[in-house]
Chains A and B, each alone.
Chain A
Amino acid sequence: MRTVATARRVLSQLRRDRRTMALLLVVPLVLLTLLRYVYDDQPRVFDRVGGPLLALFPFITMFLVTSVAMLRERTTGTLERLLTTPMAKGDLLVGYALAFGLVAVVQTSLASALALGPLGLDLTAGPVLVVLLAVLDALLGMALGLFLSAFARSEFQAVQFLPAVVLPQLLLCGLFAPRATMAAPLRWLSDVLPLTYAVDGMQELARTSSVSGRLARDLGVVAGASVLALALGAATLQRRSA
């Protein structure tokens, strides 16, 4: 009940902010189109990079939107107000997850439809698995953004967490250089970063249409990391503060 009310409230706020909504939905489409024509004479490269990008857009956008939205709840006093009500921390977090999960479904469905259709991205797996993985990636980004918002004092700082937390994962996830060619310490680091599994999952979907053991592992790690980040996020929502 409180969960659904929270999800509806977050969605109403997003709906009012038409520009953010448009950016969330349209920017991935523009970037995918750009990428398609950048690699116009190398369709293989587009096939290799396009899939992982479908995983990255929801991850990055949800990370940003959530960390700023939660920071606003903290700084405007609405979070403290909610914590004086019967609202459980879980109600709030799951409410956010529902709202942003729904946005991620729409965002990813549009991006996948464009990429797999007109842009001719060649993935072996069907759109259902692609959207499923992308939504899990969105929830991972959301959970990390929620957790890290506790360490930002201002929106400036919250936005800076993107290069600090997301870019290292992007460099190490296997998109720029295959993980097998990395020096051992970098590979170990890559092994423990959740985005690695998000991207690996999309690469797996490019190869196979069935749910392979490797894909199941990737889905499991992304889901597990999201739950862990949500639990850490819940721990930062202290009812009593100085």
Chain B
Amino acid sequence: MVNSVNVEGLTVVRGRTEVLHDLTFSLQPSRITGLLGPSGCGKTTLMRALVGVQSGITGTVTVLGQAAGTRELRSRVGYVTQAPAVYTDLSVGENLRYFASVLGATGVEQVLGQVGLADRSDQLVGTLSGGQRARVSLASALLGSPELLVLDEPTVGLDPVLRRDLWALFRSLADDGTTILVSSHVMDEAGRCDRLLLMREGRLVADDSPSGLLMATGATDVEGAFLSLALAS
């Protein structure tokens, strides 16, 4: 399988502190890769490096065959930031129509349907709940059917039914060939991923399938696997 993302020796320095240390991994199309680790371990920094907005980078980050952040990549990569990046003083529809024209994409109705907000198009984003805002932000990243989706904690604070629906959406996008990287600090979402990257203090401590990880550590769940890896290092 051809990798859609190749990261080799990625080190990120912020100020005088090295926050990511020599990371090497790859992502594949049609796969959901979970990026798991406690908050502050560098998940967001790693994601920002993939979409090309992180400075202080050494090493190589190749996305869809090109250096990360290249102009041509910007319409092929969707990025959902941890805090919803939407205009609270515009309606849901206005937000999406704006991002659609920025991306040169169509299909506002479709992405609204995908995140379950089809009936909210005229509502002001500022009057939505946090979870709904997060879904508006997600919908804007789905515009133009990007080949790589980088999702920073997209399911935080959502009710379990919605969470299940969104994971079903991620699965169907992956089945269509999309490469998906999802971060979470909640280890119980690990089972829904095809592959897991476990991070701690700026290092990758595991890169394996969920079952492989459990086998290698002898743990019964991902939380336990993380603990035994953290104690071993």
The chain A residues found within 8 Å of chain B, CB to CB, are: 1-2, 5-6, 8-9, 12-13, 16-17, 76-78, 80-87, 238-242
Contacts and interface: CB of A to CB of B under 8 A. Distances in A.
Given A85-B99, A86-B75, A78 B55 contact: no
Q: State which size class the interface on B falls in.
A: 20 to 34
Contacts of A87: 102
Interface string B62-89: 0000000101001101010101111111
A85 B55 contact: no
Nearest to B137: A81
A6 B84 CA distance: 19
A242 B103 contact: no
Nearest to B104: A86
B90 interface: yes
Contacts of B98: 5-6, 8-9
B101 A240 contact: no
Contacts of B104: 1, 86
Contacts of B69: 239-240
Contacts of A80: 53, 81, 85
A17 B56 CA distance: 39
Contact of A84 (B14, B51, B101): B51
B89 A17 contact: yes
B85 A240 contact: no
Interface string B89-115: 110001000110111100000000000
B85 A81 contact: yes
Interface in B1-57: 14-15, 51-57
Contacts of A78: 85-87
B56 A84 contact: no
Given A2-B102, A13-B90, A241 B85 contact: no
Interface of B: 14-15, 51-57, 69, 71, 74-75, 77, 79, 81, 83-90, 94, 98-99, 101-104, 124, 140
B75 A85 contact: yes
Contacts of B140: 81
Given A9-B87, A12-B90, A84-B77, A240 B54 contact: yes
Contact of B71 (A16, A86, A238): A86
B15 A242 contact: yes
Nearest to A13: B89
B53 A239 contact: yes
Nearest to B74: A86
A6 B101 CA distance: 9
B102 A16 contact: no
A77 B56 contact: no
A83 B53 CA distance: 8
30 contacts: A5-B98, A5-B102, A9-B87, A9-B94, A9-B98, A12-B90, A12-B94, A13-B87, A16-B90, A17-B89, A76-B85, A77-B83, A77-B84, A78-B87, A81-B79, A81-B81, A83-B53, A84-B53, A84-B74, A84-B79, A85-B103, A86-B102, A238-B55, A240-B52, A240-B55, A240-B57, A242-B14, A242-B15, A242-B54, A242-B56
A77 B81 contact: yes
Nearest to A240: B55
A72 to B, nearest CB: 9
Contacts of A82: 102
Contact of A242 (B55, B86, B124): B55
A82 B141 CA distance: 11
